[in-house]
Chain A
Amino acid sequence: MGTGHAFDEIWGHGGPESPRPEFAALSQWVADTPQAELHKRQQSAEATFRQLGITFAVYGDSDASERIIPFDIVPRVFLHEEWMRLSEGLVQRVEAINAFLEDVYGERRILKEGIVPPELILNNPQFRPEVAGIRPPHGIWAHICGIDLVRTGPDEFWVLEDNARTPSGVSYMLENREAMIRLCPELFRSFRVAAVDSYSDMLRETMRSVAPGARGGQPVCVVLTPGHFNSAYYEHSFLADTMGIELVEPADLIVDDDVVYMQTIAGRVRVDVIYRRIDDDFLDPLVFRPDSLLGVPGLIAAYRAGNVALINAPGNGIADDKAIYSYMPEIVKFYSGGEAKLPNVETWRCREPQALKYVLDHLDQLVVKLVDGSGGYGMLVGPTASKAEIEAFRGALIAEPHRYIAQPTLALSTVPTVTDTGLAPRHVDFRPFVLTGSDGVQVVPGGLTRVALKEGSLVVNSSQGGGTKDSFVLLPEGAPAQSQVQS
């Protein structure tokens, strides 16, 4: 498929000369700002990111262990009405994810009623029997969700993937906005853009709201990072910093008498809420990985005793597993009682013989993914793959069909993007962030737009040549303007 057929979010189907009516002004701005100027601003943003150390590590690439993700200066814009519809779908989906987690670690009604095949849950390594029977404080499992979406038309959004473990990327959302306000203040004068900088406050309130019991006083919240060699460390420190809470490593925490403490220069301080950016496997060596020396011994005991809230809950991987993904429409319906407002991308489960046959017959048209893969690795994009790549994948599929799912290659929407040869449409996806606290579900008005910088490419992963853009959500007509720049 070519870029030409795709829906462009600013230019519509017609190209630069006939933008979508609501985007005429933005299109004009893009057209009026000289290419050299756009390049200059973009470089300035990237220089800032490098200085701040907003870098990420690429696995297996020791040379460029600290790269920055390329930034594109042309923003992606959601109209207010588009956003409202999207938000409703997101809230419904995240509520269903929480209900699903509560159920599979509790009563398992969804298995008893045959909505999801039991073996898909029970035999799935992401289902953690070690935490079965635990009810997290306030009954919330997925406090922070990142839902990956793609778009194919003005009102056609599809969920590509749910992230209910430790979704990253929110620091890009915030830093990209900072850069845009600094570099393109004129845009914020002509567009009324919802502010995203309240994210840290929202997250802190969410954390506080799920603190266990009433101990009196403000609950002590921390961010738990594996350490500064982790590829997302910048984000961990950024979040702790902007929330004004401690950034701790496993060795800073101890558990005594089923209570978690951090070690400070003045002695131990009790911890109530932990936003952990560490995988389940490395949370508590006594429970998950007896061979591991990492983690906080006793943490799960403290969690089971109800003395600490873990954000997100351990065991959440079962909700965003690719094998479960294809059942999400049924799952949403089961818990919400209504049809899913945000559809899934059609998915063939290769574990089912008929689906496998279809997939093998249409490999050149499909995207095939590893059920347990991430970061764009272990993935075949049929239309752009070589014959040899397709044949290699065919072998892998036949050998282990249960490890794969396949999806059609959607005509992903594009957004004009600065390239070496001028502005050109490039495919994008989107990750909005949804917070769930004891007081409800909120969608942050913004998110992370990832863009495939290579012409025609559909792979947006930063490790494979993807970049990011700011994502504007426009305020409704007549809403009070939010001060983002001095006017």
Chain B
Amino acid sequence: MRIAVEHLTQYRFSEPQSRLVQMLRLTPSDTIDQTVLSWRIDIDCDVRLRDTVDGFGNKVTMLYAEGPIADIAIVVAGQVLTTESNGVVRGSHEPLPEGLFLRETPRTASDEALTAFARDTFGSGRDTLDRLHRWNAALAARFPGAPDLPDAGLSAAQAFAAPTPSSRDLAHIYIAGARALALPARYVSGYRQHNGGESAPHGWAEAWVDRLGWVGFDPSAGISPDESYVRVAIGLDAPGAASIAGSRLGQGREEMAVDLHVDRLGGDA
């Protein structure tokens, strides 16, 4: 599938800022099933950009801007060609061993209720892939239609107790449950094309299966990512894979607005 992404993030400051430094994880990498055809980051003011790779292997762009800056818009636009792989991630750059992704972070902290639910759902079968799919389906059934919402800062345990967790929260719950059972799991941020209605970047999970490698699971949809998904960045949790981490020097408040279009283009190659 040929997918076109246009993703605008705009910050407005109540008072002009004298400096901005941002770390952008907004550029997807090639894998066997994902080819980046074109990709660019455009900023609406004078900035210096530097491309690098972070410790997790994500493509990162450092943004440096001198003030006074009252607002700044970051526009990402590009096209990606994807093929169906049943969620299996093949040919990704993996600088860290899967064992790292057993670590708990504040955002993926579990509690007794979550761990008990995970234990019951996973059961004791020997087929890890099958157990991971069961876990995915169980979360999708328990929290149907989880929306893509701005980050509310909940831990996995808190989100598990909340009435309507977001897709990000659901991914955290997925990760926490898998890790509680000693299965490496991690967060993925990216885009998902599903007939309009995208309001924010999407988030899902990947878990490690011996002999297969990393396999994606999207508990907000109850499926493994198909060709309508574009993987951008991975991390131990959502903040670790955040599209934009920023720091500003100046007084006042900031407001952020996002405009996102993920479209399927004709002419599949």
A interface residues, Cβ below 8 angstroms from B:
108, 111, 118-119, 122-123, 125, 127-134, 254-258, 285-287, 290, 297-298, 301, 304-305
Chain B interface size, as a band, is: 20 to 34
The answer for the CA separation of A297 and B53 in the assembled complex, in Å, is 16
Chain A residue numbers with a CB within 8 Å of B95 are 132-133
**Is A301 within 8 A of B52, CB to CB?**
yes
Chain A residue numbers with a CB within 8 Å of B245 are 286-287, 290
Partner of A118, one of B97, B246, B247: B97
With known contacts A258-B50, A290-B245, A298–B62 Cβ distance under 8 A? yes
Chain B residue numbers with a CB within 8 Å of A118 are 97, 99
**Is A257 within 8 A of B48, CB to CB?**
yes
Residue of A nearest to B102 (CB): A123
**Is B55 within 8 A of A290, CB to CB?**
no
User: Could you list some 9 contacts between A and B, CB below 8 A?
Assistant: A119-B99, A131-B55, A133-B53, A134-B55, A256-B64, A258-B62, A286-B23, A301-B23, A301-B52
Chain A residue numbers with a CB within 8 Å of B66 are 256
The answer for the CA separation of A123 and B21 in the assembled complex, in Å, is 30
Least CB distance, B252 to chain A, in whole angstroms: 14
With known contacts A133-B55, A297-B247, A298-B64, A254–B99 Cβ distance under 8 A? no
**Is A286 within 8 A of B247, CB to CB?**
yes
The answer for the CA separation of A125 and B102 in the assembled complex, in Å, is 12
Tell me whether B19 is interfacial, beta carbon within 8 Å: yes
Chain A residue numbers with a CB within 8 Å of B242 are 290
With known contacts A257-B50, A304-B52, A123–B103 Cβ distance under 8 A? yes
Q: Which of B1-59 contact A (CB under 8 A)?
A: 19, 21-23, 48, 50, 52-57
Chain A residue numbers with a CB within 8 Å of B97 are 108, 111, 118, 122
The answer for the CA separation of A169 and B102 in the assembled complex, in Å, is 37
Tell me whether B162 is interfacial, beta carbon within 8 Å: no
Chain B residue numbers with a CB within 8 Å of A286 are 21-23, 245-247
Chain B residue numbers with a CB within 8 Å of A128 are 55
Least CB distance, A179 to chain B, in whole angstroms: 43
Residue of A nearest to B63 (CB): A298
Interface of A is mostly: loop
Closest 4 CB pairs of A and B: A297-B247, A132-B55, A297-B21, A122-B99
Chain B residue numbers with a CB within 8 Å of A108 are 97
**Is B102 within 8 A of A122, CB to CB?**
yes
Chain A residue numbers with a CB within 8 Å of B236 are 129
**Is B50 within 8 A of A129, CB to CB?**
no
**Is A122 within 8 A of B100, CB to CB?**
yes
5 further A-B contacts with Cβ under 8 Å, apart from A123-B99, A133-B57, are A129-B96, A130-B54, A297-B21, A298-B247, A301-B50
With known contacts A301-B52, A304-B52, A129–B247 Cβ distance under 8 A? no
**Is A129 within 8 A of B21, CB to CB?**
no
Chain B residue numbers with a CB within 8 Å of A255 are 21, 64
Least CB distance, B226 to chain A, in whole angstroms: 29
**Is A132 within 8 A of B96, CB to CB?**
yes
Tell me whether B239 is interfacial, beta carbon within 8 Å: yes
Residue of A nearest to B62 (CB): A301
B interface residues, Cβ below 8 angstroms from A:
19, 21-23, 48, 50, 52-57, 60, 62, 64, 66, 95-97, 99-100, 102-103, 236, 239, 242, 245-247
Residue of A nearest to B182 (CB): A119
Chain A residue numbers with a CB within 8 Å of B62 are 258, 298, 301
The answer for the CA separation of A298 and B247 in the assembled complex, in Å, is 9
The answer for the CA separation of A18 and B56 in the assembled complex, in Å, is 63
Residue of B nearest to A254 (CB): B19
Residue of B nearest to A292 (CB): B247
Chain A residue numbers with a CB within 8 Å of B60 are 301
Partner of A129, one of B19, B100, B102: B100
With known contacts A133-B55, A286-B21, A301-B62, A122–B103 Cβ distance under 8 A? yes
Least CB distance, A202 to chain B, in whole angstroms: 32
The answer for the CA separation of A243 and B43 in the assembled complex, in Å, is 43
**Is A256 within 8 A of B48, CB to CB?**
yes
Most buried by A among B57, B64, B96: B64
Chain B residue numbers with a CB within 8 Å of A123 are 99-100, 102-103
Least CB distance, A129 to chain B, in whole angstroms: 5
The answer for the CA separation of A285 and B95 in the assembled complex, in Å, is 23
Most buried by B among A111, A134, A285, A301: A301
With known contacts A255-B21, A258-B50, A285–B247 Cβ distance under 8 A? yes
The answer for the CA separation of A254 and B102 in the assembled complex, in Å, is 35
Chain B residue numbers with a CB within 8 Å of A305 are 50, 52
The answer for the CA separation of A225 and B162 in the assembled complex, in Å, is 42
Chain A residue numbers with a CB within 8 Å of B19 are 254
**Is A129 within 8 A of B99, CB to CB?**
no
Chain A residue numbers with a CB within 8 Å of B64 are 255-257, 298
**Is A290 within 8 A of B99, CB to CB?**
no
The answer for the CA separation of A120 and B104 in the assembled complex, in Å, is 14
The answer for the CA separation of A117 and B60 in the assembled complex, in Å, is 31
Chain A residue numbers with a CB within 8 Å of B55 are 128-134
Chain A residue numbers with a CB within 8 Å of B103 are 122-123, 125
Chain A residue numbers with a CB within 8 Å of B247 are 285-286, 297-298
The answer for the CA separation of A389 and B190 in the assembled complex, in Å, is 53
Least CB distance, B105 to chain A, in whole angstroms: 10
With known contacts A290-B239, A301-B23, A305-B50, A119–B246 Cβ distance under 8 A? no
The answer for the CA separation of A111 and B102 in the assembled complex, in Å, is 16
Chain B residue numbers with a CB within 8 Å of A125 are 103
The answer for the CA separation of A256 and B21 in the assembled complex, in Å, is 8
Least CB distance, A23 to chain B, in whole angstroms: 52
Residue of A nearest to B60 (CB): A301
Residue of B nearest to A129 (CB): B55
Least CB distance, B72 to chain A, in whole angstroms: 15
The answer for the CA separation of A335 and B247 in the assembled complex, in Å, is 41
The answer for the CA separation of A286 and B247 in the assembled complex, in Å, is 7
Least CB distance, A183 to chain B, in whole angstroms: 49
Chain B residue numbers with a CB within 8 Å of A111 are 97
The answer for the CA separation of A392 and B101 in the assembled complex, in Å, is 34
The answer for the CA separation of A286 and B55 in the assembled complex, in Å, is 13
The answer for the CA separation of A314 and B80 in the assembled complex, in Å, is 36
The answer for the CA separation of A118 and B23 in the assembled complex, in Å, is 30
Least CB distance, B142 to chain A, in whole angstroms: 29
The answer for the CA separation of A301 and B239 in the assembled complex, in Å, is 17
The answer for the CA separation of A127 and B55 in the assembled complex, in Å, is 12
Least CB distance, B240 to chain A, in whole angstroms: 9
Least CB distance, B174 to chain A, in whole angstroms: 19
The answer for the CA separation of A257 and B46 in the assembled complex, in Å, is 12
The answer for the CA separation of A257 and B47 in the assembled complex, in Å, is 9
The answer for the CA separation of A456 and B52 in the assembled complex, in Å, is 56
Least CB distance, B231 to chain A, in whole angstroms: 18
